[in-house]
Amino acid sequence: MNRNDEYLNLIKELDSNSEKIDNLYKKANKRLIKKLVTAAVTATLSTVASLLILFIILVNNVNSFAYACGSVPILKDLAKFVAMSPSLSAAVEHQYVQPIELSKTQNDITASIEYVIVDQKQVNIFYSLHTEKYKALDTKPEVFDKNNKFLECALSYGDSNETNDLKMITLDFIDKNVPDFISLKLNVKDIGEYFKEAEINDNNTDDVLDSHNRTNEEESEYLTEFEFDIELDPNYTAQGQTLILNKEFEVDGQILVLSTVEIYPTHMRINFADNDKNTKWLKALNFHIKDEKGKIFDKISNGISATGSTDSPMMVSHRLESSFFAKSKELTLFIDEVTWLDKKDNTIKIDLVNNKSDTFSEYYKLHSTKKYLNSWKVEFIVTSTKANHMFNLFNGTYYDDKGNEYYINNSSTTSGLYDDKGDNTLKENQFIQTLYLTDYHEDTVYLEPVFTSIYKVDNPIEIKIK
């Protein structure tokens, strides 16, 4: 039994005394609280129930005490880890965190599931891998339901390979609600040998990985596989609000409908519908939401930023930081840039042998093609609309001259030096997109770009949400 189970059992035990607790709470005042604090310091409370009564009174009456509860060392580490995410930071600050505290040790590696931050549509799992034996570990997570079937969700996880660091997995359930149970499998691989080889040969680590695992990933064996059963508290998974709007607007000659806005503790979603007369698919937006106090909620910059539809290439649901804990009374959506994909002419042809592309764009250009045994490494220089913003340039499928379909096993985005000698650097708003075409024997490939054009709005479109 972990601490969360103990806590829930204690709460159930106290339910029979709820009327007494409620009466005690109603009688509580500052003087009583002060006496209770003094008593807590100088004496041991006789029962766990009385300790919980004291805790309830203090949390509900003394803000500084409630804040201090979120400042214990492990939560400090969690707060530091999510510092770049305003929504998750707010969740930690408001103690909107479910402790899990599950741990297993296998093959000299200890895997620990520490916490989850969860709501009706999204689960953020925080875990760590501790080992003295391995220098760097790579983890591939998988999630299943109670019947050991794959859970249908969008999955995102960090790329930190350092051992002992806190790591995060995000599960986005798109158009379904979060279940009350998740079976998590962590497939752990040792990649320390590649870092060691890079150091010995004075090579770039990515180049070593390129010529090893990335060209034949399936041959690599996992050191071990951890399995954890995670029970999610329904008090968290029921949190959310949906606003039905169905507001139609025009941008760049296309008609879109803002159908609904969903507000959850970990994120917000704005959902759009297409028009049959449109010649372009909506792929991305540059947008934000502002409340009545002037507080701005930006789109998600790292992680799952949008999800699509099985019916079309359109990205129908777009993610923002959440207004949940801000308790905003008024919200207005501002759109100043739209990214489109043409419904026709949306593939490009690459001559791999001669390093040529028959399609030119102001946003990307082919940089290099390189063959590793029976696989290809293809690099593009991509120009973003703003600095330090990287994204996937192509979809996960590609085709040969005969129309046979293949899947991109690996891809990466990097910034900084891009040639072997280090003589050239990328511009501030550029990055490298690298595709690995594993076990591909053809000389020509057809790729599907994520987008074909970007339209900047002269005067931001404003839509009142609430």
pLDDT in tens, 268-303: 999 999 999 999 999 999 999 999 999 999 999 778
CA–CA dist 76, 125 (Å, integer): 16
Res 424: pLDDT = 62
Other residues' Cβ atoms within 10 Å of the Cβ of residue 122: 26
Q: How confident is residue 419, by pLDDT bands cut at 50, 70 and 90? A: low
Return all residues near 158 (Cβ < 8 A) that are at least 6 apart: 167, 168
Q: How far is CA 181 from CA 124, 185, 239, in A?
A: 14, 13, 16
DSSP 372-403: ETTEEEEEEEEE-SSTT-----EEEEEE-TT-
Q: How confident is residue 193, by pLDDT bands cut at 50, 70 and 90? A: low
Q: Which residue intervals of 148-251 are DSSP H helices?
A: 192-200, 205-211, 234-237
Res 429: pLDDT = 81
Q: Is the pLDDT of residue 161 over 70?
A: no
CA angle 398, 403, 408 (to 5 degrees): 15
CA–CA dist 290, 296 (Å, integer): 5
Q: What is the identity of the amino acid at 399?
A: Y
The H or E element containing residue 5 is: helix 3-15
419: nearest Cα among 357, 370, 363? 370
Res 372: pLDDT = 84
What is the percent of the chain with per-residue pLDDT over 70, rounded to a whole number?
74
**pLDDT digit string (tens) for 323-352?**
999 999 999 999 999 999 999 878 889 999
DSSP 227-281: EEEEEPPHHHHT--EEEEEEEEEEETTEEEEEEEEEE-SS-EEEEEE--TT-SEE
Q: How confident is residue 395, by pLDDT bands cut at 50, 70 and 90? A: confident
Q: Please say whether the beta carbons of 87 and 304 come within 8 A.
A: no
Q: What is the identity of the amino acid at 65?
A: F
**Residue range 409-418: mean pLDDT, rounded:** 75
What is the percent of the chain with per-residue pLDDT over 90, rounded to a whole number?
54
Model pTM greater than 0.85?
Answer: no
Other residues' Cβ atoms within 10 Å of the Cβ of residue 155: 15
DSSP 15-40: HTTHHHHHHHHHH--HHHHHHHHHHH
The residue ranges of DSSP E strands in 45-145, in sequence order, are 98-106, 109-118, 122-130, 137-144
Beta bridge partners of 366: 380
Q: Please say whether the beta carbons of 213 and 220 come within 8 A.
A: yes
Q: Is the pLDDT of residue 44 over 70?
A: no
Higher per-residue pLDDT: 310 or 398: 398
The CA R_g of the chain, rounded to the nearest whole Å, is 26
The H or E element containing residue 77 is: helix 73-81
Is 295 strand, coil or helix?
coil
Other residues' Cβ atoms within 10 Å of the Cβ of residue 66: 15
Reduced DSSP (H G I as helix, E B as strand, rest coil) percent helix, strand, coil of the chain, to 5: 20, 40, 35
Q: Is the pLDDT of residue 180 over 50?
A: yes
Q: Is the pLDDT of residue 73 over 60?
A: no
Higher per-residue pLDDT: 355 or 416: 355
**pLDDT digit string (tens) for 16-42?**
444 444 444 344 433 333 333 333 333
CA–CA dist 180, 353 (Å, integer): 51
Q: pLDDT averaged over the chain?
A: 80
Q: Please say whether the beta carbons of 166 and 114 come within 8 A.
A: yes
**Residue range 51-74: mean pLDDT, rounded:** 42
Q: Is the pLDDT of residue 249 over 60?
A: yes
**279-288 CB burial, b ≥16 within 10 A, e <16:** ebbbbbbbbb
Res 45: pLDDT = 43
Task: State the sign of the Cα–Cα–Cα–Cα dihedral 386, 384, 304, 264.
Answer: positive
Q: How confident is residue 159, by pLDDT bands cut at 50, 70 and 90? A: low
Res 160: pLDDT = 62
Q: Tokens representing 466? A: 């609430």
Res 460: pLDDT = 95
Res 5: pLDDT = 53
Higher per-residue pLDDT: 386 or 444: 444
CA–CA dist 453, 456 (Å, integer): 10
**Residue range 222-241: mean pLDDT, rounded:** 94
